[in-house]
Structure 1
Amino acid sequence: MQTTFDQYIQPRLASPGHQYWLFQIAGWSAMTMLSYFSLTLWYNPGQWTPAFHTILQSILGLLVSHPLRWIASAAWEKPLVSRILINVGAILGASLAWTFLRLITFQWLTAEIVNPKDYGGWLFASVIVFGSWIFCYHALKYYRQLMEQRELAIAAQRDVLEAKSLAQEESVKRLTAESLYREARLRMLKYQINPHFLFNALNSVTLLVRKGEADNAAQMLSRIADFLRVSLEHNDELEHTLAEEIDVLDLYLSIEKLRFGDRLQTEFSLTSEAERFIVPSFLLQPLFENAMKYAVGRSLKPTRITLEGRVENGWLELCIADTGPGIDFAKTGDDERSTGIGLRNVEQRLRSSYRDNFRFDLAPNHPHGLKINLAIKDDNPRAGASSKISKPVGMPVATDE
């Protein structure tokens, strides 16, 4: 609750104009007390006329000193020499005027004639008083200016530190996310120059042509072109909807489906809410690439890869499972370690994007195969847009509401 001082007095004390009159009144009141106790009371004890003159000369001094404020303020921005000359002239002018008024009022009140030899003493005292006035004015102005600059410097430094801290935090997060994103994107782009991928894809086209399946060969070439186009032209967004992620994944799987034929079976079961969930770009491609290499590629039997997705209590829960030979977690050979590169990359991207709001683990898929359980929670959910990438023909996605 605001007090009267906080509501009325303190704002006025903060005003330069009010501060000026406060110092004026306080200074000349102090001048009155000093003159009375050092001169008037000493030389004219018990006399009211000299005491009244002491009060009157302070009032006159206040009035005479007031124009000094305008003069000193006008000279503030001028060169140092000019400022000194102007202020010295103002001191002499004010001293002469105050000395004259003091003498006139003293002789009028006391009916005494002041000896002309004493005029110098009266004038000297006036010069001391107004010289002190000008000194105090400049000292307070410099002090106020120093305090304002200091407050501005402190505020600017605080703003800079806060902005720097926020910028560094956001920069680290973004750079980490961008770095991991570009790494995943480069892993996708390498299919353009990856001899193994191109050899297998083109060899499959050759076999289709030799079998006289020109339509299937043309279809596979079209899907390879679509995949390469997406890898080159897909924008640099760091995240998109899960539905868009599935569309990118379908381009890759459509090629592998034609290459492996019935050996590759896929089944997707996603809720509509899961499809609208925002996920990092190229999140699933490394996981399916891992399954393609170590499940389908290592088995001559049909291998099924399933993807299930749903949203529970704000968490997107995904499960990618295959029926391949699985991974022996006890092995530490180079081949087994290479299996985890893509998986570790996905885990690092999730940690960068969601910090502690994610779960990522591998488990055996009974009776055989590998299962990857992934869950993420977005503290700032956004409405997802519809898919922007056309799905290749022949790759339907099963969804469960």
Structure 2
Amino acid sequence: MTSIEQRTQMWLSSDNRRYWTLQIAGWLALTMLSYLSLTLWYNPGQWDYALHTLVQSVLGLIVSHPLRYVSRWAWNAPIFVRIAIVTAAVIAASVIWTALRLLTFGWLTGEWVSPVDYGGWLFASVIVFGSWVFCYHAAKYYRQSLEQKDRIAAVERAALQATARAHEESVKRLTAESLYQEARLRMLKYQLNPHFLFNALNSVSGLVRKGEAEGATSMLARIAEFLRATLEHDDELEHTLDQEIDLLGLYLSIEKIRFRDRLQTEFDVQPEAIKATVPSFLLQPLFENAMKYAVGRSLSPSTLTLAAWLDEGRLEIRVRDSGSDEERRQERNAPSSTGIGLRNVEQRLRSAFQDDFRLELVPLEPRGLEVQISVPAIGIDGRPLSPVAGTKRREPAPTA
């Protein structure tokens, strides 16, 4: 919108101000025109004729004012009905104004107009009030065109904003899907790396050499079941914590066959917390990290603990391990040691919750590590969750 159009729009912001500005300006212009073209030409220096010129304009302003209400009342009528109503109003106003002009002319100048000239005076009145109605309708149409232009501009702005929001959501969705596919590829890589599949197959081979065919068969079956579950959840970006724990159970069942009594697990999950939505395959990298640095490096039993609860509209998750026989804190806390696991978890949390999440690694005393996650507690239907009154959470005891 140009600066001229902006100033015009500001000027047109008040109906009454616009109307009286045009009304007074129009009749002043007619006064000057009448004086310069008639009074000054035919009666120079005669102030009674000049006064009549001014008085007739004031009377015209008064008589023309009702035309505003007539035009406004007839505005929404069909075009031919509106023309008829406005024409009748113009004729009536012209007759009234002509009569007033003739009376004041005779009264102020002492010169009475011959009835033969009444027609000329009436014709001039019709021209004046016809022009008045034309200008009124032109101004009203112009204002409506500006308002329509503003409405179209507002709709266009809203459409652009909606398009921008839709584009932003689309970008977020594509980013989430991209991160998800990346996580799935990393998980497949994780399943094929020595920390899981190779070690699991070696464990199967060891069971076979020991003659424990039943154990080897059970482990192979669980590996197949876990791989099948990962493929079944291939298209999921998020699901409930309950479903995530089910998938985690499949993974741990394989690792328990591999590590036997060296792997102990504890689950302390609040009943309402299992309904919260989390990114799919969120917990496996955390347990894999604990498996690598705690269970895999210790000959004595190691305990992995999962705790989850709702707290003031947030889902709190804790994954804790009891550490290894020879804890190396510096290695566990080094960024390069997290591999794909914790980086993958952070990327998926950021994709799902933007910056509204917390992921921290907290060393435990005398050994062990706890991964702390805090995200909004949202159900699968998108509604916030809250704990049931009276439901209490049992905090996992520190592992010595």
Please name the residue that 1:392 is paired with. Answer: none
> Aligned pair in 2 of structure 1 residues 323, 95: CA closer, same or farther (>3 Å)?
closer
Superposition deviation, residue 307 in structure 1: 0.9
What is aligned with 1:215? 214
- Match runs of 1:200-349 below 5 Å: 200-234=199-233, 236-262=235-261, 264-273=262-271, 275-276=273-274, 278=276, 279-299=278-298, 301-311=299-309, 313-314=311-312, 316-324=316-324, 325-329=326-330, 337-349=336-348
The whole-number CA distance in structure 1 between the counterparts of 2:364 and 2:71 is 92
Describe the superposition over 1:193-236 as per-residue Cα deviations: whole angstroms up to 9, x where unpaired.
65875444344434434544333233222211211111101164
Match of 1:374 among 372, 375, 384: 372
Q: Can you list the C-alpha shifts for 1:212-267, whole angstroms capped at 9, x where unaligned?
A: 433323322221121111110116444444333222112112222223334x4122
Cα deviation, residue 371, structure 1: 0.5
Distance 1:228 1:94, change over 3 A: same
Higher relative contact order (CA 8 A, sep 6+): 1
Shift of 1:270: 0.5
- The secondary structure found in structure 2 opposite 1:244 is helix
Give the 3 Å change call, closer, same or farther, for CA 332–61 of structure 1 in structure 2. closer
Q: Distance in 2 between matches of 1:248 and 1:272?
A: 18
Give the AA of the match of 1:382.
Answer: L
Residue 330 of structure 2: SS of its match in structure 1?
coil
The 5 Å alignment of 1:125-274 reads 125-154=125-154, 156-157=156-157, 159-160=158-159, 163=162, 167=166, 170=169, 174=173, 177-190=176-189, 197-234=196-233, 236-262=235-261, 264-273=262-271
**In the aligned structure 1, how far is the partner of 2:323 from the partner of 2:50?**
117
Check 1:372–1:168 CA distance in 2 against 1; reply closer, same or farther (3 A cut): farther
Whichever residue aligns with residue 272 of structure 1, its letter is Q
8 Å contact kept, 1:276–1:383:
no
User: CA shift at 1:142, angstroms?
Assistant: 1.5
| Equivalence map 1:101-140=2 (5 Å) | 114=114, 116=116, 119-120=119-120, 122-140=122-140
Residues 269, 399 of structure 1: 8 Å contact kept: no
CA shift for structure 1 position 363: 1.6
Contact 1:358 1:375 in 2 (8 A): yes
Query: Structure 1 pair 209/61, CA: closer, same or farther in 2 (3 Å)?
Result: same
Unaligned segments of structure 2, at least 5 residues = 1-12, 40-45, 107-111, 379-383, 388-393
Residue type of the alignment partner of 2:220:
L
CA RMSD of aligned residues (A): 5.4
Q: For each residue in 1:273-314, what CA deviation from the matched residue of structure 2 results, as whole angstroms up to 9, or x when unmatched?
A: 475262332222111112233444445x24514114153744
CA distance in 2, matches of 1:191, 1:126: 94
Asked if 1 retains the 8 angstrom alpha-carbon contact of 2:27 and 2:61, the reply is yes
Give the AA of the match of 1:270.
Answer: D
Closer/same/farther in 2, CA of residues 130 and 207 from structure 1, 3 Å limit: same
The letter of the residue matching 2:372 is L
* Cα 1:61–1:226 shift into 2, 3 Å: same
Quickly say closer, same or farther: Cα 1:169–1:302, change in 2 above 3 A: farther
Q: Unaligned 5+ residue runs, structure 1?
A: 1-13, 77-85, 385-397
Q: Distance in 1 between matches of 2:308 and 2:195?
A: 35
Distance 1:44 1:98 in 2: 23
Contact 2:226 2:251 in 1 (8 A): yes
Go from structure 1 to structure 2 and tell me whether the alpha carbon gap of 1:175 and 1:322 turns closer, same or farther (over 3 Å shift). Answer: farther
Q: How far apart, CA to CA, are the structure 1 residues paired with 2:297 and 2:147?
A: 76
- Between 1:52-61 and 1:213-222, the stretch displaced more is 52-61
The 3 A distance-change label for structure 1 pair 364 and 168 is farther
Instruction: Kindly provide the CA deviation profile for residues 102-152 of structure 1, in whole angstroms up to 9, marking residues without a partner as x.
Output: 668988998x66364674454244313312321221122211331243145
Q: TM-score normalized by structure 2?
A: 0.63
Q: Could you tell me how far 1:378 is from its partner in structure 2? A: 2.2
